[in-house]
Amino acid sequence: MKIKKGDKVKVMAGKDKGRTGTVEKVFIKAGKILVGGVNIYKKHAKSRDGKDKGGIIDITKPLPASSLSLICPKCGKVVRVGYQVEKSGEKNRICKKCKEVI
């Protein structure tokens, strides 16, 4: 997967189209990504053992990786990600627009 934890992404499809956020967690097998502050739903929770308060809470649900695009930290644009292998054998992600290492 070309998007990693800590990357800044933009939602390209769905109810939150156009919003940006930071990746909190990546679910590789499911092909989904959890983005902070995006795709928020309400959940009705019942109080348990007196510790947890009941009520309506906000939860963030993961989005499909195909509906997200990476924002390059150097040029600040929505970009595609490429790879470049160094002579030392190190593999780096690069921005396809500005050719800088992400």
Q: Examine the domain organization and report whether 101 and 54 are in the same domain.
A: no
Asked if 65 and 83 sit in the same domain, the reply is no
For the segment 32-44, what is each residue's pLDDT rounded down to a tens digit? 999 999 999 999 9
Task: Please tell me whether residues 51 and 67 are part of one structural domain.
Answer: yes
Asked whether residue 47 carries a pLDDT value surpassing 90, the answer given is no
Supply the pTM of this predicted model. Answer: 0.82
Same domain, residue pair 14 and 42: yes
Same domain as 80, residue 62: no
Answer yes or no: do 21 and 66 share one domain: yes
What counts of helices (H) and strands (E) characterise the chain?
0, 10
- Any idea what the CATH number is for the domain that residue 17 is in? 2.30.30.30
| Model confidence pLDDT, tens digit, residues 63-79 | 999 999 999 999 999 99
Which residue segment(s) compose the domain that 50 sits in?
A: 1-71
